[in-house]
Structure formats: structure tokens, C-alpha cells
Amino acid sequence: MTETSQNTQTNTMRSGILIEAAELRVVSLPLLTPFVISTGTMTSKTFLLLVLKGEGLEGIAEAVMDPTPDYLEETIPGAMGFLRDVLLPSIIGKRFSSPYELEPYLAPWRGHRMSKAVVEMAFWDMWSKSLNVPLKAVLGGVRERVDVGVSLGIASINETLDRVDEAVADGYKRTKLKIAQGHDVKLVAAVRARYPDIKLTVDANTDYGLVDLPTLQALDEFNLDYIEQPLAFDDIHDHAQVQAALKTAICLDESIRSASDTRKALEMRAGRVINIKVGRVGGFAEARAIHDVSAAFGAPVWCGGMLEAGIGRAHNIHLATLANFTKPGDTSSASRYFKHDIINEPLEAVHGEMPVPSNGAGIGVSLNYDYLTTVTDHFEAFSR
């Protein structure tokens, strides 16, 4: 036996990747244009960035909770505490042979899916790097590039028309208009008048109730591909009533936290399309389970976004290579959001197609530590 094969055998016996340390940062990137949705306005993107370290590898992920609980319940300060006091101490110093082995450390805790996701996603990156394969290979992805559209924040009708012109000229495969009460039917009518045939959707981010059915029925006349999350963030039941009254498909975003939610929603016909955000649902294992349940019901899925910087965008693109992601996702070019990204590789769509990043194994992008340092508001390091 050669020395090399002896070493290999030793490594196999001590199987799994040892998580030796972690770094947690709060990062704040200015947005080129304020992003307005029914729940509020974002002028910068503030997020948690986690780096797991061990065996000479780094696993990196972005968390999607905001500073305040305006999309879902989790917040950056809350997640910092949960990660610092509970999740990170429970995994640092342990070996994991696959991301599935993290489950016993994550599943017992209620909620906190965004906090769990950032740990799980960072380990998927680390694991695929240890196997020297792209993340999409271990996820079971089938595409080299993914179809993407734009998500246009709330603005005046004229400003929105300009932004739609730009998206169409750039070749994006779908245009999503953010809507809110009083900023809906006229806006959609104006865009449809100019573009009768583009793939068009709207996203209400929970701004309507059952009493607003007449407005939703008015939107039903514009041949939209779907109406995203019209009702409350924690509702499934009432969405079924709205879906029964519309020709247009309802797409659920905020309401879907798990594969179990997905099964219930599709059984109840609360919608016909599912928006999967890996960072919202607790990680790739759950995202894939949602993808599979949806496929079993014949419901298409697409990959949503949370204005992520480059690390989160890379994770999203790898996820969207799975077979049932048949509708265009929200991962448009990073340069639409940020002057400088925190990664070295540009993530730019070409004719509405986003190539899967492939600079090395795992997520296929690398942190620009020099720039990252200048946009880091807070830093904490953890080790054994």
C-alpha cells in the first residue's frame, strides 16, 4: 500500500467535514434605485453573511431576513442571537458527511427557517467544494443556464413603463410588477396597452383581503401569468377562495414555508404556482422537497429573490437548474441592483438567461474580501 492510499483510507475512516470555525457579518450594500413594495421601501440591502470554515474549505451563504420583520417574522438582530447562542455552537467542532446530517441540529427548533437556511446553504457549498463538483450537481440540477425575469418595484405609471421598456429591450423572459391597493388596475392596464403579449405577472406582497375580490377580478382580465401573494403572509385558506373566483393562477410566496405547506396549499387549490426562495424555507433540502411536491401536483415552480447580493444570487441560480423550475425566476443581473457586488464574478443575464456561475466548485463565485470589508457593519468570529 502506498502512502497516499493509506492517507485516503484514514480520511475515509474519519469521514465527514469538520466545521472548525465560522464568521458572521452584517453587510450593507447601497441599492442603485430604492426598491418599493406594498410593505415598504428599501434603499439599501442589509444582510447576514455566514462563512463556515474547516479542512481548508469555506462554505458561504447569505441569509434573507431583513433588519425589521416586514416580509416575514425573522429579523437580523434575532437571527444573530439565534445563530450566535444556539445554531453555530451546536455544529462547530462536529463532522458532517452531507448536509442531511445537519437536520437533527436544525429541525428541533420552531420557525427560524431563514436562520437555519443560511447554515444549511453554507454547508451545501462546503460539501460540494469538498467533492469538487458544482453545487447544482449535488442538487440534481439539469440546466446550464436559467431563465430569468425582472421584479419592478412600485413607481409611477410613466416610470414603470420606462422600466418595462428596458426589461423588454434586455430580453428578460418575464416582467413582474409590484402592486398595492390603489396602485394596481390602472398600472397593469397601461403596461398591457403597450405590451399586449409579454409574459406579465403582479406581486401584491399581501396587500389585499377577501373584500378586495373585485380588484383581483379586474386584474383577472389582463392575461397575467399569475397573481403573486394577494392575501396575508400566514394565509392559505382564503387564497383558495380567491383562486376559485379567478381564471388567473395564484402564486404563493410568503405563505409557503415548507413542503407540508405546499401540499396543503395545492390540495386546497389555494394557488397553482409556487415561488421557492431557498432562504425562506430553511435551505436546499426543504426547497427541493417543495419542488418535488409541486411537481407531483403538476404545479410549476420558480425561484424567487430577496434582492440578494452575489452569494445569495449564486445559490438561487444553482437551485433554479432543477427540472420543475419551468417559470422564469427573479435572479436578474446584479448590476441592476448594485454598483459593486461582494463577489469577484459578474452575475449578468444574457437575453434573459443567467449562466450558472462556475468559477470553481460549489457556488462557483468567490468573495471580494477587500470590498466586503468596506461594507461590513458588524463582524463576529466563532471557533471551538
Q: Which residues bind ligand OSB (CB under 6 A)?
A: 37, 71, 151, 203, 205, 253, 304-307, 330
CA-to-CA distance for 95 and 14, rounded, in angstroms?
A: 9
- Judged by beta carbon, residue 228 or residue 261, the one nearer Mg ion is 228
186 is annotated as an active-site residue? no
C-alpha to C-alpha distance for 40 and 188, rounded to whole angstroms: 20
Name the residue nearer to Mg ion (CB basis): 184 or 228: 228
Contact region with Mg ion (CB under 5 A), list: 69-77, 138-146, 222-230, 232-240: 222-230
Q: Which stretch binds Mg ion (CB under 5 A): 60-68, 131-139, 188-196, 225-233?
A: 225-233
Rounded (5°) CA angle 85-89-95: 160
Stretch 302-321 residues interacting with Mg ion (CB under 5 A): none
Ranges within 245-264 binding Mg ion (CB under 5 A): 253
Q: Which is nearer to ligand OSB, 164 or 306 (CB)?
A: 306
| 324 touches 289 (CB < 8 A) | no
Comparing CB distances to ligand OSB, the nearer of 87 and 187 is 187
Kindly give the residue spans of alpha helices, DSSP state H, lying in the chain. Answer: 3-13, 76-82, 88-91, 103-106, 113-130, 135-139, 157-169, 185-194, 213-219, 237-244, 259-267, 278-281, 284-296, 310-319, 369-374
Cβ nearer to Mg ion, comparing 125 with 203: 203
Q: Would you tell me how many other CB atoms lie within 10 Å of the CB of residue 95?
A: 14
How far is residue 210's CA from residue 303's CA, in Å, rounded to a whole number?
27
- Least Å distance, CB 110 to ligand OSB, is 23
Evaluate whether 174 touches 149 at the Cβ level (below 8 Å): yes
End-to-end CA distance of the chain: 35
Give me the least distance between CB of 6 and ligand OSB, in Å please: 49
Q: Contact with Mg ion (CB under 5 A): which of 203, 207, 286, 341?
A: 203
Comparing every residue's Cβ against ligand OSB, the nearest one is 305
Catalytic residue among 45, 53, 116, 277: 277
Active site residue 277: yes
Least separation in angstroms between residue 378's CB and Mg ion is: 28
CB of 110 closer than 8 Å to CB of 257? no
Nearer to ligand OSB, 126 or 319 (CB): 319
Rg of the chain (C-alpha set): 21
Residue 258: all three cell numbers together: 415548507
In whole angstroms, the minimum distance from the beta carbon of 74 to ligand OSB comes to: 13
Binding at 71: pick from Mg ion, ligand OSB, none (beta carbon under 5-8 Å per type): ligand OSB
Query: Shortest distance, CB of residue 89 to ligand OSB, whole angstroms?
Result: 30
Rounded Cα gap, residues 88 and 346, in angstroms: 30
Residues 6+ apart with CB under 8 A from 9: none
| Catalytic entry in 178, 186, 199, 339 | 178
Return the H-helix or E-strand segment holding 228: strand 227-228
Indicate which of Mg ion, ligand OSB, none lies near residue 305 (CB less than 5 to 8 Å, by partner kind).
ligand OSB
- Residue 235 binding Mg ion, by CB under 5 A: no
Could you tell me if 243 and 195 are in contact, meaning their C-beta atoms sit under 8 angstroms apart?
no
Residues that bind Mg ion (CB under 5 A): 203, 228, 253
Report, as residue numbers or ranges, the catalytic residues: 178, 277
